[in-house]
Amino acid sequence: MSPLRSSAWYAGRGRDAYIHRAWMRRGLPGSAFDGRPQIAIANTASDLTPCNSHLDEVAEHVKRGVWEAGGVPLNLPVVSLGETQLRPTAMLWRNMAAMATEEMLRGNPIDGVVLLGGCDKTIPALLMAAASVDLPAVVVPGGPMLTGTFRGVPLGCGTDVWRLSEEVRAGTLSRDDFLASESSMIRSRGHCNTMGTASTMGLLAEALGTTLPGTAGLPAADSRLLAQAHESGRLVVEMVAQDRRPRGLFTRGSFNNSIVALAAIGGSTNAVVHLLAIAGRLGVPLTLDDFDRIGSAVPLLVDLQPAGRHLMEDLHRAGGLAAVLREVIDLLDPEALTVAGRPLVETLDTARIWDREVIRSRDDPLRPHAGIAVLRGNLAPNGAIIKPAAASPHLLNHRGRAVVFDSIEDLRARIDDPALDVAADSVLVLRGCGPRGYPGMPEVSNLPLPTKLLRAGVRDMVRVCDGRMSGTAYGTVVLHVSPEAAAGGPLALVRTGDVISLDIASRRIDVEVPDEELAQRTPNEATLAGFADPHRGWERLYIDHVGQAHTGADLDFLVGRSGSEVARESH
């Protein structure tokens, strides 16, 4: 076994080693510094990230496992991003959280790390950090909440918020009844119980090989999550001893497996930007087109909101991710490893489907082709995406007149105006919501429908945006349009009245304006006014360096791996 990285701090009889040991002797025994692996628990627990508020308890069980295996566990609170609370959008700080976590892991006497995340951006940020610093790392997802009910009906958090709020606007549900459901929506600790981004990224962390198999999807309130946390603490000590690092574990095959899983579970479109960013940190050549190439033929097997009926507690009861992956095992890379040191496919032998209403068999899928569709055309030269499983079939091939909004404020000011010139076959266009334009690429692409159309019975329209949408959302939404309007993309040139054509089968999204005319157009003043232009701080740094959606929206100077070496002593 090679010398521990932490020995560069603690070994020896000199002044610097004295300082490092002495300041840590606050309950730690002297043996803690005698060649025992130092394990950080990168903990995103925060009362302002309500989906992660239980992770301190999870961390305690990780600590027990680390001690049992001969390591020294060390709680390391890291930047926590609460999707429901942070303004203007949690995505603005994903890269900052990744950068801060990476630097804290690199700068401290750490030999390995357990990553505790749950809410949407926390697992992606932690994995980006771990990939960059390249220390042995294992993820423990915080898990979904239990299913809440209102008047006898299960509530899908997020998805039912969007659905019920639209019914209020349509006049078919009273405001009082809507608000009465509020106390029933969140039943327990844990993240969203739909197949939103949090659930998706927890499951994809396992498909990628970064969790102890069988951990992802365990409900947050399930005692088995604590048992898996304990075992994950034991595992990371083993990983340090065997020098099992991200660079040797996570390959192109690992990402292939995550894309297959994304399609089979009907996962969030947000996974696209997160997986691209993680791959970029590892140096794995993953592109937007890989999501369509690998995932388009994968059947949708999980009948979960927003693409289906059930919720995450049901998925776990029905057999969990392993049962899903066993159905598509022939599509998985047979050599891609997990943190436990075995190929992912070898962990699926005993998996079974226990409820075929929740998890469909390969020969009876919910939909035969379910992956993310990647669109191109003169409206999205570098690509845009749509989730066909969450869209309306009658809108997957559509032509309509554009109704354009220059910012989210413009949308909110006009969408309910009875005089708005809009029809059911119109295409709603929202711009100024990309990585630079907002900034931070918010979850606003599933635009609310005009009230007058809702009251006429319309429940879906084609919507086009350079932002993202919540993984709990649904509808015929073309999003992640790249380049975004604020980066000079053609979306900035679309005018109300232009005809937009969408053809999912042909993977096209176009504005029917001659190339010569489009080339002569310039963004109008209202469009330019909708783009953010901060003068200082993180937002300024972010706008100057963020990449576009089709590359993962990471900062240009963070792409790649820097390793764990620190050249200089602090004293």
The distance from CA 201 to its chain's CA centroid, rounded to whole angstroms, is: 5
Question: Does 28 fall in a domain?
Answer: no
Alpha-carbon span 57 to 505, nearest angstrom: 48
Tokens of 269: 């479109």
Name which residue leads in pLDDT, 9 or 570. Answer: 9
- For β-strands 427-430 and 397-405, DSSP reports them as parallel
- Tell me whether the omega of the peptide bond preceding residue 141 falls within 30 degrees of 0, making it cis: no
- Quote the domain boundaries for residue 191: 36-147+187-347
Q: Are residues 94 and 120 in the same domain?
A: yes
Q: Are residues 382 and 487 in the same domain?
A: yes
Count helices and strands (H / E) in the chain. Answer: 21, 14
Alpha-carbon span 180 to 174, nearest angstrom: 10
- For the beta carbon of residue 369, count every other beta carbon within 10 angstroms: 15
Question: Does 30 fall in a domain?
Answer: no
Where does a domain end: 162, 183, 204? 183
Across the chain, mean pLDDT equals 95
Alpha-carbon span 110 to 5, nearest angstrom: 7
User: Amino acid identity of 255?
Assistant: F
Report pLDDT for 161.
Answer: 86
Q: What are phi and psi of 480, to 5 degrees?
A: 60, 30
Classified as helix, coil or strand, 153 is: strand
| CA angle 534–537–543, rounded 5-degree value | 55
Question: Does 506 fall in a domain?
Answer: yes
Q: Are residues 137 and 155 in the same domain?
A: no
Report pLDDT for 571.
Answer: 80
Question: Does 215 fall in a domain?
Answer: yes
Name which residue leads in pLDDT, 568 or 466. Answer: 466
Report pLDDT for 150.
Answer: 87
pLDDT digits (tens, 9 = 90+) for 304-324: 998 889 999 999 999 999 999
pLDDT digits (tens, 9 = 90+) for 474-512: 899 999 999 999 999 999 999 999 999 999 999 999 999
Q: What is the mean pLDDT of residues 350-354?
A: 97
Cβ neighbourhood burial of 83 (10 Å; 0-12, 13-18, 19+)? buried
- In total, the chain counts a number of residues equal to 571
Q: Are residues 469 and 324 in the same domain?
A: no
Provide the number of structural domains found in the chain.
3
Q: Are residues 143 and 206 in the same domain?
A: yes
User: pLDDT confidence of 1, banded at 50, 70, 90?
Assistant: low
pLDDT digits (tens, 9 = 90+) for 196-231: 999 999 999 999 999 999 999 999 999 999 999 999
Question: Does 31 fall in a domain?
Answer: no
Report pLDDT for 491.
Answer: 98
Q: Catalogue the long-range contacts made by 20-27 (C-beta closer than 8 Å, 24 or more residues apart).
A: 20/109
Q: What is the pTM of this model?
A: 0.96
Question: Does 366 fall in a domain?
Answer: no
The 3-state DSSP composition of the chain as helix, strand, coil percent (nearest 5) reads 40, 15, 45
Report pLDDT for 265.
Answer: 96
Whether 155 contacts 185, CB under 8 Å:
yes
Q: What percentage of the chain exceeds 70 in pLDDT? A: 100
Q: Are residues 322 and 380 in the same domain?
A: no
Q: Are residues 138 and 171 in the same domain?
A: no
pLDDT digits (tens, 9 = 90+) for 269-291: 999 999 999 999 999 999 999 99
Q: What are phi and psi of 383, to 5 degrees?
A: 115, 155
User: What are the Cα distances from residue 155, in Å, to 53, 93, 272?
Assistant: 21, 29, 26
Q: Are residues 412 and 450 in the same domain?
A: yes
CATH code of the domain covering residue 497 = 3.50.30.80
CATH code of the domain covering residue 338 = 3.40.50.2300
Q: Are residues 384 and 510 in the same domain?
A: yes
Q: What percentage of the chain exceeds 90 in pLDDT? A: 86
Give the distance between the most distant pair of CA atoms in the chain: 80
User: pLDDT confidence of 166, banded at 50, 70, 90?
Assistant: confident
Alpha-carbon span 568 to 571, nearest angstrom: 9
Nearest to 428 by CA among 391, 386, 469, 476: 476
pLDDT digits (tens, 9 = 90+) for 421-478: 999 999 999 999 999 999 999 999 999 999 999 999 999 999 999 999 987 778 999 9
Alpha-carbon span 16 to 4, nearest angstrom: 17
Q: Are residues 106 and 178 in the same domain?
A: no
Report pLDDT for 3.
Answer: 87
Report pLDDT for 399.
Answer: 98
Alpha-carbon span 228 to 235, nearest angstrom: 10
Question: Does 326 fall in a domain?
Answer: yes
Report pLDDT for 470.
Answer: 87
Tokens of 483: 């380049």
User: pLDDT confidence of 143, banded at 50, 70, 90?
Assistant: very high
- For the beta carbon of residue 23, count every other beta carbon within 10 angstroms: 8
Question: Does 561 fall in a domain?
Answer: no
Where does a domain end: 347, 363, 396? 347
Report pLDDT for 208.
Answer: 98
Where does a domain end: 131, 157, 183? 183
pLDDT digits (tens, 9 = 90+) for 357-397: 999 999 999 998 878 999 999 999 999 999 988 899 999 99
pLDDT digits (tens, 9 = 90+) for 125-135: 999 999 999 99
User: What are the Cα distances from residue 445, in Å, to 120, 265, 270, 345?
Assistant: 17, 22, 12, 36
Q: Are residues 56 and 167 in the same domain?
A: no
Whether 39 contacts 73, CB under 8 Å:
yes
Q: Are residues 114 and 262 in the same domain?
A: yes
Q: Is the pLDDT of residue 138 over 90?
A: yes
- For β-strands 112-117 and 38-43, DSSP reports them as parallel
Q: What is the mean pLDDT of residues 178-186?
A: 89
